Structure 1
Amino acid sequence: MIKQRHALRGALTLAVAAGVALGVLTGTGTGAQAAGTAAGDGADQARLDRLMHRLTTVDGGPGALLHLRDRRGGTVLTSGVADVNSRAPVPRDSRFRIGSMTKPFVATVVLQLVGEHRVSLDAAVERYLPGVVGGNGNDGRKITVRQLLQHTSGLPDYLSYLDPRQILTDPLAHHDARDLVNLALAHPPKFAPGAGWRYSNTNYLLAGMIIEKVTGRTWAEEIDRRVITPLGLRETSVPGDAPAIPGPHPHGYVRPGEDAPLMDLTAFNPSVAGASGGMISSGADFNRFLGALVDGRLLRPAQLREMMRTRPTGDSDGRAYGLGLESRPLPCGGLYWGHGGDVFGYETAGGATVDGGQATVMVNLDPGGSDAQSDDMKTAVQMALCLHRSTASR
């Protein structure tokens, strides 16, 4: 789930006007605090500290966390609060919902199946999911697995047609992936398969369904078996229908309008996100996953090359999208690889460089965060990775 902030905000405003109440809370952030192995010092470190503070003051987030990891150790920066009532600080070992940062996990499993000759990237979706994708001009016979993973299928995004008030009025409700796909397929495609690029969460619901069809196990079980367990990601989970976040975690908040008070939506059923964004992780674990992914420990060379074969998205910052993994240029030179995420209560972003640096940032507010929040989170990841590079070269 990503790139739906403005639409969600508008619908949430309507929900509040209709009298939906989930517990109204208010609060502001506090200053940045650093802990762990020092990532560096001097002006660059001070700028990163100020940026973390900005996320929880000017940008309006209750709390923020950044975890920087390299071959020498890790650094954790926190700012603001985990709970706007108790004013408890953000735990350094926080777990949180990662939204669309789930997609690299799903794409990794699909590409592992490609390496095992159980899935073909250029085969039609119809081969694996007969009769699932059809109607209103959508045709699974013309869409390939590659196009799902790269968002070039043209399929509508189910989130564009899902009323967030359903989540607010019944946050524990189960959402079936096939029903969500059908919600999208009730509308015509945005373009012919392969004729453009447009982010659609529907693509990854279908990728999860392909994993299940091919392996006979759920996409969650395959991620656990193939990625979480081998890498020892003890703070990462695929919760299914479970509404709670296990372990230490900040509360997740939404802001239904520009001047509206915060609403606590820490607990909800993540099946509404499913394989497009339903996972939980931590800064340390997501960094470890990204590091293993870009250095070739999770995929064979041929499949990693396919994942990193990108196409421009049209964004002004040079963003390009591969197969569940995107690249952006670093201000200090070169590229970094990662993904961002938006899900009720949390916005996240993570990136890694091929020279061994990884950085993940989280703010416990979404939707309702400003555009500046998203931009500053991206800047924090880039600044942390450049700081890693400057200290590693000494």
Structure 2
Amino acid sequence: MPQDHIGFYDPAVCSLKDFQELTTQQTSHADVPLASDVQKNVPIYAAQSLASDLAQERRRVLSEWAWVLGQGPGVFVIKGAQPNLAAIDQATETYLQIIAKEKAASGSGADHFAAAGSNDRIWNSLQKLCLTAPEVFAQYFASPMIDAACEAWLGPNYQMTAQVNLVHPGGQAQQAHRDYHLGFQTAEVSATYPAHVHDLSPLMTLQGGIAHCDVPIESGPTKLLPYSQLYRPGYAAWRREDFRADFEERYIQLPLEKGDAIFFNPALFHAAGENRSADIERMVNLLQISSAFGRAMETVDRTAMCLAVFDALKAAQMDEVSLDAVIASTAEGYSFPTNLDSDPPVGGLAPRTQQALLKEAVLSGWDKTTLATELAAMAERQKA
């Protein structure tokens, strides 16, 4: 049977040779003309110089990034994606307070693909930052570059989630893996999904990270194998020892500076690196962004977030592009699921979204009581 006609993937028949042929490709600057540099096969984009292209030729930028993530090396870096370093520092301080509070309450546990004690993790750091420090949250997510990267792979109305990972000096590396959805299933469960669902899974999420400090190589930035997302049976192969050994021989790492962002296809073979430094507490806010058409990994109370950040958004008086970026990371952007008896489409094919409601509230100068009333009414209409 031709490879393209295989209905299900079996780890036993995965070909390391085919995997190696795909992952020895080279990225040329002609492939990524908007990039300022290509390092170790990874396109590097300078946010400051790319800003005019994003404003004037947005679809050209998004198309290039979509190619990189899908057919290209599978990963790119945006230098200075969040240039507001004060907002990052304020978010860092808030996250450290949250870590201390959570450790005092329950101690620390094991992380995905890493041993317990090597790091501190904040699950749902998105909502926790928003509710704890809404003014900081508003400035932190006011990044048109991050918003554009999410839209390039997932389209509009994506669902932002985030988890902070703080890796201490001496923190051990993760094992090579793929990520959510099928990457978070056992090998046995993953094998029950048809091959075409293995193709679908990477289209449902985007992995990203915002550096909260300078991340030199010795501190263990993410280990990556460019082009490995192209190996279609990769969700069946990544647990095999020969594939993991090949990854360990050929992975690359890129240093990051505070405010840089990295984005990669969730099917890319990757793993957090070992923190070999003596004194660098490596903090990265890991973004896991989901398609409007998929299911996010974490439950997020977006109504509570809308109410928490509302006054900060009114006071910030930011430009509309930045406002849209914050709202995209805050409110629900998709109309469904809903109850079409009580929440029918008005003036279109889909009911109004929470994002549209929050934006109107900010631009029209509503008070929080009015917003709370309208959000509650929207939630009531959506109930079965």
Query: TM-score, normalized by length of structure 2?
Result: 0.21
- Indicate the structure (1 or 2) with the bigger Cα radius of gyration: 2
More helix by percentage: 2
Higher RCO (CA-CA < 8 Å; seq separation 6+): 1
Query: TM-score, normalized by length of structure 1?
Result: 0.21
More strand by percentage: 1
